[in-house]
Amino acid sequence: MKLTVDLTQLWTNVERMGARKREVDLDSIWQDTDIDFDTQLSSSSIEITLDQISSTQGLLSVKGRQVILFISDHGFKIDDALKNSALGNKFHVFDCRTLKDMRARNRFERYHVTNNTSGEFDIFGTSKSGSPIKDKAKLNVCKNCISQLNYQNASKLTAPQRNVIVEKFNPLEFFSTYSSLFSFLPKAKPENAIYGYTEDWEKVSLHFRESADFTCQECKVCLVTARKLLHTHHVNGVKNDNSAKNLMVLCLDCHRKEPFHGHMTIKHKDMSTINMLRKEQGLLLERSWASASKYADPALQGILNLAKNRISVAPLVAHTLQSSGSGQDILFDAAWPEYGIGVHLGKKPESQNWQVFDHNEALLHFSE
């Protein structure tokens, strides 16, 4: 016998309570077997061999997670490393020439990976007096990594300027910048989750976004068809201050660019949705390097800075290459139709007539 269940009244009551339907992304659901792995990866580190490290469009990854690679063993230089981060082993974020050289020379160091963004690393060694030491220490990022990645335009800067990037390097901000390249994003820490908000925050946020017609007050994109990508931001950072002057409606892309929001990440498909809607709403009509830098995925910034020295015309953001046959259209994150060049940060599509680059390929192309 076929049963018919009517849940209309139930959903009516749910909506009266202020609750909202949420989309579930099946691709990002973590398996139970990964729970221990992710807990250890985010809280401390995992020992690993170089051949277990993957490269996700140039960035270091393990099981689809963005990671930092470092050597915990500091031997007899641990005293110096604890006093001065510049004297410790460098950590890696990119599959740079240093790592390639280590593989080529079969260097069997005891490597560790982590996605803990505190900036402190568990290291050990032997003190100058001969006693074993284990401690946490600040370490510096590898200069080859940031130069080959052209992070903050490092490849075009002087040595002293690159030193400033190294000194101010923020792992949290770095992970946020390149989050769209990865399948699995770090879980939000408790302090970045629901704590500090008022009990009626969901209702307050919804009401404020409704009053703004679900439009980002920074870039002006309307997200009425993609409401989960629109947030309500506390301007002064105080989460229980819900006064109108302290609230601002921002799309996820603009929200993560706010000061002290380096913990925010974004998936590639969500970034693509935001830029497609910006394009449809006429917000990407200006073709300039400034506009491209403002609206393109932040993961593209290093590529754009390199391309500016090679190509006079700025790229089109969210450019669609229509299929000439029965294939699917290609949405490029950035493209130069005049040259038949497109950059795609997701799964790399194929095109017979265009040069299609992923993130790392674009870096190599524009670095030549």
109 forms bridges with which residues in the sheet? none
Residue 278 tokens read as: 């910006």
Q: Assign 126 to helix, strand or coil.
A: strand
Task: Give pTM, 2 decimals.
Answer: 0.85
Mean pLDDT in the chain?
Answer: 89
- Across 39-48, 71-80, 253-262, 320-329, which has the greatest mean pLDDT? 71-80
Among 126, 136, 122, 137, CA closest to 75: 126
CA dist., res. 214 & res. 224, Å (int)? 5
* CA dist list (Å): 93 to 43, 143, 261, 319: 18, 10, 20, 29
Element of type H or E holding 277: helix 268-280
According to the model, what pLDDT value does residue 85 have? 95
Share of the chain above pLDDT 90, in %: 72
Q: Is 367 exposed, middle or buried (0-12, 13-18, 19+ CB in 10 A)?
A: middle
Among 133, 131, 45, CA closest to 82: 133
According to the model, what pLDDT value does residue 195 have? 64
CA dist., res. 315 & res. 299, Å (int)? 15
CA dist., res. 274 & res. 294, Å (int)? 13
Residue 348 has pLDDT above 80, yes or no: yes
Domain ranges of the chain: 40-181, 190-264, 286-367
Region 180-193: mean pLDDT is 68
Terminal C-alpha separation, the chain: 69
Region 181-203: mean pLDDT is 74
Residue 311 has pLDDT above 80, yes or no: yes
SS (H, E, C) 2-28: CCCCCCHHHHHHHHHCCCCCCCCCHHH
Would strands 247-251 and 230-234 be described as parallel, antiparallel, or unpaired? Answer: antiparallel
20-60 residue pLDDT tens: 555 545 455 445 557 888 888 888 899 998 888 999 999 99
**Cβ-Cβ contacts under 8 Å for 297 (sequence gap 6 or more):** 180, 268, 271, 275, 333, 345
166-176 residue pLDDT tens: 999 999 999 99
CA dist., res. 25 & res. 22, Å (int)? 10
Residue 23 tokens read as: 């989309």
Tell me the Ramachandran region of residue 185: left when phi exceeds 0, alpha when psi lies from -120 to 50, beta otherwise: beta
According to the model, what pLDDT value does residue 191 have? 47
212-233 residue pLDDT tens: 999 999 999 999 999 999 999 9
Which of 83-87, 256-260, 266-270, 303-307 comes out lowest in average pLDDT?
A: 256-260
Higher per-residue confidence, 95 vs 11: 95
Region 139-155: mean pLDDT is 98
Residue 15 has pLDDT above 60, yes or no: no
Tell me the Ramachandran region of residue 142: left when phi exceeds 0, alpha when psi lies from -120 to 50, beta otherwise: beta
